Amino acid sequence: ELVRVAMSHKPDFAPGAGWNYSNTNYVLAGLVIEKATGRPYGEEIRRRVITPLHLTGTSVPGTRTGVPGPSSRAYGKLTADGSGPVHDVTRINPSMAFSAGEMISDSKDLGRFYRALLTGRLLPKEKLDEMTDTVAVDDTHGYGLGLMSTELSCGVTVWGHGGGIHGSTSDAVTTRNGRHSLAFNFNGDWAGDPEAVIEAEYCGD
């Protein structure tokens, strides 16, 4: 259904002529996983990532609307421009994001995941090299295969990925050696400045 929605829109640009972030690419990746393994992509994530790394606060909930505690509430405006009333959207069917964002985690697990990924514990070197082979998004950001690099004002480069769903915006980054990690969440989807938080953590006094 998500792919059908995406394909009803015109392409942003001709293949190879530009760059734009696309959730649809992650949805397609999830479908490829399911086709190649014959199992739901969430099972493969549990088997290959969550269980080996002991990510006890991470899950792929499918259509389950509950959020494990302790957890903050999630609030959304449900409008493109952030206007209108605030709604409590804590209980939401996360399958609307499928493999582009249908996950729940906590800051401890996110830090552990990125440390394991970037220090070579999760993938062979050649695969990690492909993930970190970026194309320039702008003067300070590069995008690889699921990983974004950000060069901060003080010269530090961090790697990670942000994301959001109604009522929640999260970001997680770490240095390339995995020694300095940061993960956080805004529980309102119309406000917050993730880049300012990252700058303060790595470049603040």
pLDDT per residue over 54-84, tens digit each? 999 999 999 999 888 888 899 999 888 888 8
Query: Pairing state of beta strands 141-143 and 87-88?
Result: unpaired
Residue 116 included in any domain: yes
Strand partners, 87: 76
What band does 19 get if pLDDT is binned at 50, 70 and 90?
A: confident
Residue 69 included in any domain: no
Residue 159 included in any domain: yes
Number of domains in the chain: 1
Specify the pLDDT at position 189. 86
For the segment 94-123, the average pLDDT, to the nearest whole number, is 94
Closest listed residue to residue 84, CA positions, set 72, 75, 93, 92 = 75
Residue 7 included in any domain: yes
Whichever domain contains 117, its CATH number is 3.40.710.10
Burial class (CB in 10 A: 0-12, 13-18, 19+), 129: exposed
Q: What's the whole-model pTM score?
A: 0.91
Residue 138 included in any domain: yes
Specify the pLDDT at position 184. 94
What band does 49 get if pLDDT is binned at 50, 70 and 90?
A: very high
| DSSP string over 91-148 | S--GGGTGGGT--B--HHHHHHHHHHHHTTSSS-HHHHHHHT--EESSSSEEE-SS-E
Length of the chain counted residue by residue: 205
Specify the pLDDT at position 69. 83
What band does 15 get if pLDDT is binned at 50, 70 and 90?
A: confident
- What own/partner pairs with CB < 8 Å and gap ≥ 24 does 179-185 have? 179/115, 181/110, 181/111, 181/114, 181/115, 182/111, 182/158, 183/106, 183/107, 183/108, 183/110, 183/111, 184/107, 185/72, 185/107
Residue 179 included in any domain: yes
Residue 163 included in any domain: yes
Q: Name the residue range of residue 40's domain.
A: 2-64+74-203
CA distance 153 to 3: 38
